[in-house]
Structures are given as C-alpha cells and as structure tokens.
Amino acid sequence: MSRALPLRKSLLVRLLITSVVVALCSVAATAWLAVQTTTRAIQEEQGQVLAEDMDILRQLSGYAATHRDWSGVTGTLRALSHRTGRRIALTAGDRTPFADSAARGTSLPPRAAATVDPLRTDTYTEPGAQLTGVDPRAVGPYRLTANERLKVAKLAVVRQLCFERNGVRTRTEELPSGRTVLKGVDGTLDPGYVPTECADGRLNTPTPTERKALDALSALSRACLDRHGAHLDHPLALPLEAASGATAVPYLTGKRPVDRDGPPARTANACVAEARRTQLAPYVAPVAELFLGTGDRPVPRFDMSAANKAKVFGVAGLVLALTVAVTALVATRLVRPLRALTQAAQQPPERHVRVPVTTRDETGILALAFNELTERRERLEEQRKAMVSDIAHELRTPLTNIRGWLEVARDGLVDPDPELLSSLHEEAVVLQRVIDDLQDLAAADAGTLRLHREEVRADELLEQVAAAHRVGAESAGVRLVTEVTGAPRLDADPVRMRQALGNLVSNAVRHTPAGGTVTLSAHREEDEVVFAVADTGGGIAPGDLDRVFDRFWRAEKSRSRRTGGSGLGLAIVRQLAGAHGGTVLVTSEAGAGSVFSLRLPRTQEPATPTTGSG
C-alpha cells in the first residue's frame, strides 16, 4: 500500500463530504418544501379567490342576461354570499344600491371589483362571448316558442341519425335561445360540415321568431349604415351568433361596401354590433357595479393545511432518517477497524496479533502500520532472544576455559607457565573483543557513537586496511589485492572506517579457501565513494542474504569457532555505515564468492587517477 494517500480517500475529506452532502440535502429539502408549501398555499388561496370572483361575476351576468331588471336578484345574491363567505353588493353607476348581502348602512369597498354588463362581457369570463362581447345567454327576441323548440329538436334528431349513417357521431345540445344544435362527440366536428345526404336546409332555417328578430336586426343595421354614409358593394352577412348560431343563410342588408377589408367594412361590422346591442338592451338588466368584500370570513392568510403539515413532517423525518443512516454507515465503517485495532492491542504481547486491512484510507494505513509494528516487534523479540542466547554462548566458552585453567592451576595440577598464561590471555582478548563490539553496537543504537570526521583519501584508507590484514591473509593462504580508480575523498572518521573495512576483510578472509583472492576496491560513482570487498569463497545462500547483517548470525549452524568471529562484525559495519550517512549491501552467487559494497558520501575534491596493487 502506498504511503501517499489520495485526497479522495482521505478520512478528513470523506467526513467533510459527508457533512456537506447531509447539509445540502437538508437545506435543499427544506428550501424545496418551503417553496412548494408556500407557493401552493398562495396559489390555492389566489386561485380560490379568483375562481370565486369569476363565478360570482358569471352568475350575476347570466342573471342580467335573462332578466330585464335587478328586482329579483336578492335571493341569488345572498345564496352566492352564503356559499363563498363574501360580501356581494350591486349598485348603479352612482352607487345607488340594487342589492347587498350585508346589512343596510354598511359602507361599500373603495372600488368596484367589476362591472356587470351582459352586452359587454369580459370574454375571458364568459365562454361564447369571444366574438361580440355579448353574453350568449342574452337572447332576447331570439328565444323560441315551445312549439318551435319541439320542431327544431325533432329536425336535430333526424340530422343526427343522418350523420351516423355517414359515420359521424354527434350529440345534441340546446342553446340558451331554445334551439337544438349538433355537436361533435369529441369536440372536433366542423360547424360548417354537413354531409350531402343530410344537407336538406331544414335544421338551420330560421324559425318565425328568429326571422322576425333578424329582420329587426337588419333594419337597425341598415339605419346605422345610412347614418355613417357607408356604401357596400356586396351583401353584408349578419353574425351567426345573432340567432345563436341558427342561420345557415345570412340575412343581408342590401348595401354594398367599397372593399371587404377597408374602413367601410369595419364600419359595417361596428354597425351590426351596435344594432345587436340596441336590439337586446330592452331584454337585459341595466349595467351594475359589483362590489366584493370579505364578509364574515377572515382575511386570507398563510396557514399550512393538514397535507402541507404532513409534507413538512414527512420531509423532516426523511432528512433525519437519511442523516442517521449516513452517519451510522460512516461511523460503522470508521469504528470497525478501530475496534479491531483496540482488540488486537489488548491481546498479550507474545501473541503478536495482526488486524485485517480492509480499506485504503487513514484507518487502513493505521492497520498496516500496526501490522508492520507487530512484525517488527516479533522480529525484535526473536532477535532479543537470539542475542541473549548468542551473548551467553559467546561469553561462556572463553569464561569456561579461563575458569577451568585457573581452577587447575589453583589446585596445583598445572604450573602457571608462559604457555598457560598466553592461552588465558587469548581467551581474555576474545572476551574483550565481544564486549567492545557490544559496546559499539549499544552506542550506535543509542545514537551516542562519536565520530571524529576529517577528510580521508580512499586510496590511503585501503592501503592501511590491507597492510593491517595482509599478514593474516598470507597465513591463511589468501591473496589480498587493492584496486583504486582515481583518488576519491570522503568526510569520515578514519578509525571507524578502518574498523568497518577491516571487519569486511576479516570476514572475507575467513570464508575464502586457501589459494583464493580477496579484492579491496574503491571508485567514485556520482556523489558517492563506493568501497567493495570481494572474495572467491563459497558464497552465501540466497535465503541467508537478508540475515548476514543480523547480530550473532553465522552461516555455520554449528556455531563453531573454527572460522573465528563473534557474529557482530557485519552488524557493526552496518551501524558505522549508517552513522556516516551511507549504506552497505551484499551480493553473492553460490560457488562464486560474495561482494560487500560500502557506499558513503564523497567530498567535492579534484581527484588524480592512481592504480595500486598488492
């Protein structure tokens, strides 16, 4: 696992993202709920008031269209007021009251809400008034008699059956004038479409009542055209709605306009509309001002309904549940590895428990570090036990020899001659060497190893080490050779460097058979000075390469002293290399020998190439 943790896997970032997501969800849900609730409440309130106003205006306009005055409107007005909870008042233009749902003497609102005039109706309020602005319920002289209604209804049924035979489905509808007309079932029937078989001209022929009213309308239109001096050059069609859509052949005025779309044509249309209003005026109630108030109902205010309250609590509960769920999920994922770490840490130290690494965030890195720490602790414990055993073994043999010889000499069995004293001295030297090596390692571990640095030439350092070990190498039948490329310099403690290189040379000589060669070399490689000690011995097994620098480790499992050494030399080399800011490595090939490389920082000094050989 890489130590460089991606930002997106950071525990802090994930917690921040979780908090931001929960906050955004909460804010968004609250804002949405507030907007939806407030908007709907306002829309409902406004829509309800507007719908009530339009309904009141429509019903009063219908009353005016079917009555000659307002004398009987009180009952209708009070019924509307009771149903809507609104105050409704009708007055003349000078505010003379026609009818009022409030008590007598109650002041009127400052302004009228609308004007009730069936001859000039709001086309958005009353369907059917879009063309002329006249309430379609104002039929006046066009209202059919009972016999005429029955006759027209029968003709409509006959035409409906004819339409069905031609594959056209229709329905009958009675207009406010009492005339029955055909409508499409789905509302798509063209009013001017009549199959040839059904075009008998009887259904749309005006009745005597309608003909009389149309004749009067024609006379009024003709008089208006005469007053304006309009001259028509084609027959002027009366509007179909004048007879509530009854006439198929329009009545004509006999005048002829100059053109169809010019000012004369517009004057003619205006005259027809004026004539129609003049004709209907005696049959409708006079114009009235409509005043609307709040009545007994309180002023509209924002108040959440049960449905809106349910939405508020529902969304709040959903956000709370989501927050709890997300928090619980995140907390569980965070706590689970921490609990595993806690349980593992509470186990006895000798068990060396590991924890599973299930994530790649901070907790995963912590679990991995815990496992690595456990492994290091386990290795250190093994090394400690091995070191105690090794130290006991290293010290037991010379101490046993010294004690045995001293006891024999004390008992008078052997004279303390020079040979015995020399043997005892040799054993004491072994003890001293082991103790000195342990002291050096302890100082290096504690960071108290003192170095006396100075500028050292690599070639001189190798010559000194080779001179110190040449006699021992020759006595073992091993040839010792030095090779230096250039004259690299380094800043180091010369005594400690001779000790480190000497340990490597001694180790190489011990493991090189007679007739073999040990080569000491030094060369510059970029910003480092590389010392190498190569031998032609039997090499090191691949499985042992990682342990050669461990304390008291020997390739010989019998721990025999035949090859010498305390097992601390290579460990000291590693410590001294680290103290100088360098490293030590080993490469080996079974049967071909080993190469120990000591890499140390060099100083920036010019070098003169020299080559030496021993």
Q: Which of 520, 461, 519 is nearest to 489 (CA)?
A: 461
Tokens of 205: 């022929």
Residue 251 to residue 374: CA distance in whole angstroms: 111
Q: Would the pLDDT of 531 be above 90?
A: yes
Q: Would the pLDDT of 258 be above 50?
A: no
Residue 13 to residue 177: CA distance in whole angstroms: 78
Average pLDDT over residues 141-150: 91
Residue 560 to residue 233: CA distance in whole angstroms: 142
Q: Give residue 69's pLDDT band: very low, low, confident or very high (50, 70, 90).
A: very high
CA–CA–CA angle 602, 605, 611 (5° rounding): 80
Task: Classify each residue of 6-31 as buried b or exposed e, where b means 16 or more C-beta atoms within 10 Å of its C-beta.
Answer: eeeeebeebeeeeeeebeeebeeeee
Residue 62 to residue 284: CA distance in whole angstroms: 10
Q: Lowest-pLDDT range, 51-55, 70-74, 222-226, 607-611?
A: 607-611
Residue 112 Rama label (left phi>0; alpha psi -120 to 50; beta): beta
Q: Compute CA distances 488 → 291, 463, 528, 530, 578, whole Å.
A: 112, 14, 9, 9, 20
SS3 content of the chain, % helix, strand, coil (to 5): 50, 15, 35
> Residues 130-140: pLDDT tens digits?
456 788 888 88
> Residues 358-380: pLDDT tens digits?
777 777 787 788 888 888 888 77
Q: Give the CATH H-level superfamily of domain 454-601.
A: Histidine kinase-like ATPase, C-terminal domain (3.30.565.10)
Tokens of 138: 């104002």
What is the DSSP code (8-state) at residue 606? -
Residue 523 has a CB neighbour count (10 Å cut-off) of: 15
Average pLDDT over residues 435-445: 72
Residue 560 to residue 91: CA distance in whole angstroms: 131
Average pLDDT over residues 114-129: 69
Give the contacts of 224 (CB within 8 A, at least 6 positions apart).
Answer: 271, 274, 275
Tell me the domain boundaries of the chain.
1-117+286-346, 140-283, 362-446, 454-601
Q: Is 373 helix (H, G, I), strand (E, B) or coil?
A: helix
In 502-554, where do the E strands start and end?
517-525, 528-535
Q: Give residue 70's pLDDT band: very low, low, confident or very high (50, 70, 90).
A: very high
Q: Would the pLDDT of 247 be above 50?
A: no
Phi then psi dihedrals of residue 527, to 5 deg: -100, 20
Q: Is 492 helix (H, G, I), strand (E, B) or coil?
A: strand
Average pLDDT over residues 449-474: 87
Q: Is 248 helix (H, G, I), strand (E, B) or coil?
A: coil
Specify the length of the chain in residues. 614
For the domain made up of 362-446, give the CATH fold.
Helix Hairpins (1.10.287)
Question: What is the residue-averaged pLDDT of the chain?
Answer: 77
* Sole residue written with tokens 């004509």: 252
Average pLDDT over residues 77-88: 86
**What kind and span of H or E run contains 54?**
helix 11-66
User: Is-contact 349 55, C-beta < 8 A?
Assistant: no
Average pLDDT over residues 224-238: 70
At 123, the amino acid letter reads T
- The stretches of 187-288 forming alpha helices (DSSP H) are 208-228, 263-280
> Residues 155-209: pLDDT tens digits?
989 888 998 888 888 888 888 888 888 888 876 676 677 888 888 878 888 889 9
Task: Classify each residue of 564-582 as buried b or exposed e, where b means 16 or more C-beta atoms within 10 Å of its C-beta.
Answer: ebbbbbbbbbbbbbebbeb
Average pLDDT over residues 563-575: 72
User: The whole model's pTM is what?
Assistant: 0.43
Q: Which of 562, 492, 561, 485 is nearest to 525 (CA)?
A: 485
What local confidence, expressed as pLDDT, does residue 539 receive? 84
CA–CA–CA angle 57, 117, 71 (5° rounding): 80
What local confidence, expressed as pLDDT, does residue 519 receive? 92
> Residues 320-334: pLDDT tens digits?
778 777 777 777 777
